[in-house]
Amino acid sequence: MGVDWEYLRGIEGDPTDFGENELEELYQSLAGISKLRPRDKTSEKLEMLFTLTQAVMMAKNSKVTLLEVELGELADSAGRGDAHREKQLIQEIEHLKMLLQKSDSKRNGETTEEDIAYDWSSGWKIKKKQMEKDLAQKNEEILQFMDDIQSLEAERDNFKANTIEFEQRLVVATQEINSVTSELISLRDSHAHIQECLAEAQNEIEGIRSHTEELVIEKAALQQNYDQLSTEVDARVDQLQIVLTDRESELKQLRSQIHHQNRPQPGFMQQSMIEYSQLQQLQQEVKKRDTEIEHLTEKLKEAATEIDNSAQIITKLKKNKKSLSEGEATVVSSLRGELNESRQHLAQMRTQLLAAEEDAQMHAQNLATAIGELQAYMAGEFTLGDAVRELKEARNQVRIRDTQISQLTTLVNSLQININDVLEENTQLRDQLKLSPRQDIKLPGVRQSNWQDSKNIIERLTNKVNKLQDERVNLRTKVYELTRELSNVKGSLQVTALQMPHLLTQGSNETMESQINQLSHRVSELIEAKSTEQQQETSQLSAQLQDLRDKCARCSLTAGHKTTAAYYFLGHGGLPRRGCLQPVHTGLRGVSGVNCIKGR
């Protein structure tokens, strides 16, 4: 039978103050409840049923106690009255028996006496008849009283049976009340637990929002930096084009001056050898930059692996979002894996530091060999054919480096595409979870520092790659200029001995010497600038290595204390959508083009 909630809600006042009919109706409505539906098992409805049932049971209990008291009093009063009346009747019967015995004895003793009056015998007979009537009446009254006593005993038995039934119902009602109270307590506990979970979720949502706002601010700053960098690169390309046009005009002037000279200069060959040695040094600098680019590619690959690991962790967390307690072990294992990765990264950085020291020693040896080659060029040991052969080797190396740079740019672009895919998947998941795009999710047991460190490493590596590409463009332009000048010098040296006195003059020789001195001075300045930049970069790398060592030490300390850090779900982090690197294609014969950082 269902529950008439409208009738129960319409009850006003205390049920204990109700009349007998209203109380009986409420009792019948509550006794007819057999089973509650799931939607009726709310805290308010259960509490209302509990209070009404308790009030009805209390009223019934009070009524039963009153009936028991009245029944006891009635039984006592009836028993006492019957006993007293019975005693009186017994006394009267005994008195009448005594009177009969006396009358019989008198009659037997005085039968001989004839002088007894007739009036006395008739009076005695009348009195006897009256006494017999009274005795019969008393017997009837005794029988009536006995019947009344039996009926009262039957009523008392009925009352006792009713009281036993009421007691049984009261026991059942108390059991139901206890079960309802236990369910109500469990519902209250579950409600409190749900409220705590909601409060924790709200706190997590607030933290996610703040972190998302920070990420948006960082993204805007990165976008602004990329825009500034793109404008600077465009300006630098324009400057390089202007420099190339100026150098071509200067080379044309030099060609015209060489054709108008009368005789060759005695030290011109030595000066050209010096310029060629400087060209070799520039090629060595290009090699150094190529090694640095390879080193940075390795770092980019490591960062890409870290990003893939973070994406895998995100997918695992998405799969295990319904069972966070079961996923704590996996999170701990992932944290241990990250700690091992950080230790491996520290070991790699140590090896890189040793490699950098070895590179510095190698550069010192190369500088010594370059000085020896310069002395050999000054002494005239190397010929022009050797210089041309070395130029061809340098061109081949430059082509190889072009392919490596193109591979690096494709790798960076693929990483950017993967990051954009992860961001799109993140936005879709946020739409499914009905989260705003500026909310991040704080999950227990996962660290945040790895993602931030990888993000910073990616930014630094991309900036270094851009700088190295700019430097490479500058070096290639310088190499191009020097090769053009060397080819011009080679053409001028191929003039026959008969034409030399008529083509060269003393004034043109002086201008040629001044121009060659200017070029040598520029090359020396360029070499010094590159050496200072290299020293600065080595110092920066050493500082970064020290920072990474400190971070790894802190990570090991935190892992030793078994602290639980927080991992923030990937919001708008990573590299921005604008900023894919495009390959740079340049050659020794000319600059084919420089593709800057462009927005997708």
Q: How confident is the model over 133-144, as pLDDT tens digits?
A: 877 787 788 778
pLDDT, tens digit, for every residue of 46-70? 777 777 777 777 877 787 788 777 7
User: Is the pLDDT reported for residue 502 higher than 50?
Assistant: no
**Per-residue pLDDT at 570:** 35
pLDDT, tens digit, for every residue of 427-474? 777 777 776 665 555 544 444 445 556 666 767 777 777 777 677 777
Angle at 449 between CA 420 and CA 326, to 5 degrees: 85
**Residue 228 forms part of a structural domain:** no
338 phi and psi angles, rounded to 5 deg: -65, -40
Q: Which helix (H) or strand (E) holds 567?
A: strand 566-568
Q: How many domains does the chain have?
A: 1
**Per-residue pLDDT at 505:** 40
**Residue 87 forms part of a structural domain:** no
**Band of residue 591 on the pLDDT scale cut at 50, 70, 90:** very low
User: Does residue 591 sit in helix, strand or coil?
Assistant: strand
Share of the chain above pLDDT 90, in %: 0
Angle at 335 between CA 330 and CA 339, to 5 degrees: 145
Lowest mean pLDDT among 74-83, 329-338, 575-584: 575-584
Query: Higher pLDDT residue, 401 or 75?
Result: 401
pLDDT, tens digit, for every residue of 74-84? 666 655 666 66
**Band of residue 149 on the pLDDT scale cut at 50, 70, 90:** confident
**Band of residue 503 on the pLDDT scale cut at 50, 70, 90:** very low
Cα separation, 581 vs 598, in Å, equals 8
Cα separation, 235 vs 243, in Å, equals 12
Tokens at 97, concatenated: 């028996």
Cα separation, 103 vs 425, in Å, equals 129
User: Is the pLDDT reported for residue 262 higher than 80?
Assistant: no
Close Cβ partners of 545 (under 8 Å, ≥ 6 residues apart): 349, 350, 352, 353
**Per-residue pLDDT at 507:** 44
Share of the chain above pLDDT 70, in %: 49
**Residue 4 forms part of a structural domain:** no
**Residue 555 forms part of a structural domain:** yes
Lowest mean pLDDT among 107-121, 160-174, 552-566, 572-586: 572-586
**Band of residue 545 on the pLDDT scale cut at 50, 70, 90:** low
**Band of residue 412 on the pLDDT scale cut at 50, 70, 90:** confident
**Band of residue 277 on the pLDDT scale cut at 50, 70, 90:** confident
Cα separation, 451 vs 330, in Å, equals 18
Q: Which helix (H) or strand (E) holds 465?
A: helix 449-493
Q: Model pTM?
A: 0.23
**Residue 186 forms part of a structural domain:** no
**Per-residue pLDDT at 528:** 65
Lowest mean pLDDT among 283-297, 386-400, 585-599: 585-599
User: Is the pLDDT reported for residue 542 higher than 60?
Assistant: no
Long-range CB pairs of 48-52, under 8 A, 24+ apart, other chains included: 48/8, 48/9, 49/3, 49/8, 49/180, 50/177, 50/180, 50/181, 50/184, 52/8, 52/11, 52/15, 52/26
198-212, 310-324, 425-439: range with highest mean pLDDT: 198-212
pLDDT, tens digit, for every residue of 67-111? 777 777 766 665 566 666 677 777 777 777 787 777 767 666 554
Distances (CA, A) of 241 to 340, 465, 584, 594: 49, 22, 15, 11
Cα separation, 181 vs 191, in Å, equals 15
**Residue 578 forms part of a structural domain:** yes
Q: What is the pLDDT averaged over residues 182-197? A: 84
**Residue 270 forms part of a structural domain:** yes
**Per-residue pLDDT at 269:** 55
Beta partners for 444?
566
**Band of residue 592 on the pLDDT scale cut at 50, 70, 90:** very low
User: Is the pLDDT reported for residue 204 higher than 50?
Assistant: yes
**Residue 340 forms part of a structural domain:** yes
Average pLDDT, rounded, for the chain = 67
Domain range enclosing 335: 260-593
Distances (CA, A) of 407 to 394, 467, 485: 20, 17, 32
The one-character DSSP state at 588 is S
